[in-house]
Amino acid sequence: MEMTLVYTVIGFALAGYSVIANDSIQTLGTFIASKKKWFKWYVLAGSASAVMIFALAWGWYAYDGDISYGRLTRIPYQEIQWYHAVAPAILLLLTRIGIPVSTTFLVLSAFASTVVLEKMLLKSVVGYGLAAMVAYIAWILVSKFINEKFDEVDEKWIGFWRNAVWVSSGWLWWVWLSHDVANIAVYLPRQLDLTLLLIVMAYFTSLLFYIFYIQGGPIQKVVLEKTGTRYARSATIINVIYAGVLFYFKELNDLPMSTTWVFVGLLCGRELAISTMNKEYKFKYVFPLIGKDFLKMIFGLSVSVGIVLAIHYIIIPNNWF
């Protein structure tokens, strides 16, 4: 029992840091990129923390103490073992070298059955394709009115777009949390008491302030290397479309999915649309960007599959520890 508690604390701490440091940049990356010129990092961190605290509190209230928003109903609570802490440790390592892998696959693969993992993969693949398609169509239409290669915004609209980033980022951040908090909450009882909820909130807040302090870390490069992500207008459009796709899958069913795959799919469709409509931005510049991100996702998926196969067919049957 004592070792189970130790593994629980280690797993939760590592998963919390890994998920916030890796996946939160999907939602907060454009917010950081477009706002850091105008606001101090701690002001931005405080705003993100306020939304996060509200999202956790609402999930806890609406889902009878379950901060995962019911996304773990197909993954029952298990006593935490040493191998459960291995997954976020691997994720932490990959995060530090800037690989945008899926935390859903890497973390939940240690808990989920092969059947659930297969369904998670299918939902994530559909999410990638849908996000790419929606983004491509949306930015084809957007490109007919604006050129995102340049921040050409009339002065009368500057205030609108800057305020829109705040609103759209807050909505996207909440929708994302309703998906990916499950990757951390999997280490905790499905119903939290108030004390444990406050501990979780305090830990997440400290992590957020650190991430904003380092301006997103290595993973932020995935956002910054894409066209126009530093601009308030572009950031707002990305946020709205990404949040819309995530909200659709949130309402579709309670099965966890990879928000990383959805995010990369969205950026893929966006870059392809911009290159289609902009003759100076040729496909030969786009494919290395989207190809690199896709290979990183496949690498993370391979690690996840390796973890779940090792747990179910090697570690558990032999009961080495």
Q: CA 255 to CA 136: how far, in whole Å?
A: 26
Rounded to a whole number of angstroms, the distance between the first and last alpha carbons of the chain is 14
pLDDT at 148: 55
pLDDT at 257: 87
Give me the DSSP letters along 47-99: HHHHHHHHHHHHHHHHTTT-TTTTTTTTS------HHHHHHHHHHHHHHHTT-
Q: CA 202 to CA 192: how far, in whole Å?
A: 14
pLDDT at 223: 52
Question: Is 106 within 8 Å of 301 (Cβ atoms)?
Answer: no
Residues 6 or more apart from 183 whose CB is under 8 A from it?
15, 19, 23, 103, 104, 107, 108, 256
pLDDT at 204: 92
Picking from 146, 161, 148, 176, the residue whose alpha carbon sits closest to that of residue 244 is 176
pLDDT at 295: 75
Q: What global pTM score does this model have? A: 0.82
Tens digit of pLDDT at every position of the chain (321 positions): 577 888 888 888 988 887 776 666 667 776 776 666 677 888 888 888 999 999 999 999 999 999 999 899 888 888 888 878 877 887 777 766 666 567 787 788 778 777 887 888 899 889 888 988 998 898 888 777 766 555 565 666 666 777 787 888 888 889 989 988 998 999 999 899 999 999 999 999 998 898 888 776 555 455 545 444 456 677 788 888 888 888 888 888 888 888 888 888 888 888 788 777 766 655 566 666 666 667 777 776 777 677 767 766 776 655 444
Q: CA 170 to CA 151: how far, in whole Å?
A: 23
pLDDT at 320: 43
Q: DSSP H helical segments within 63-218, as ranges?
A: 82-96, 103-108, 114-143, 155-180, 182-185, 194-213
What is residue 20's three-state secondary structure? helix
Picking from 89, 7, 62, 131, the residue whose alpha carbon sits closest to that of residue 307 is 89
Give the domain ranges of the chain.
Answer: 2-318
pLDDT at 285: 62
Residues 6 or more apart from 135 whose CB is under 8 A from it?
241, 265, 266, 267, 268, 269, 270, 273
Q: CA 275 to CA 40: how far, in whole Å?
A: 34
pLDDT at 54: 94
Q: CA 13 to CA 222: how far, in whole Å?
A: 25
Question: For residue 217, what is the DSSP state?
Answer: -
In total, the chain counts a number of residues equal to 321
What is residue 256's three-state secondary structure? coil
Residues 6 or more apart from 232 whose CB is under 8 A from it?
34, 153, 158, 161, 162, 164, 165
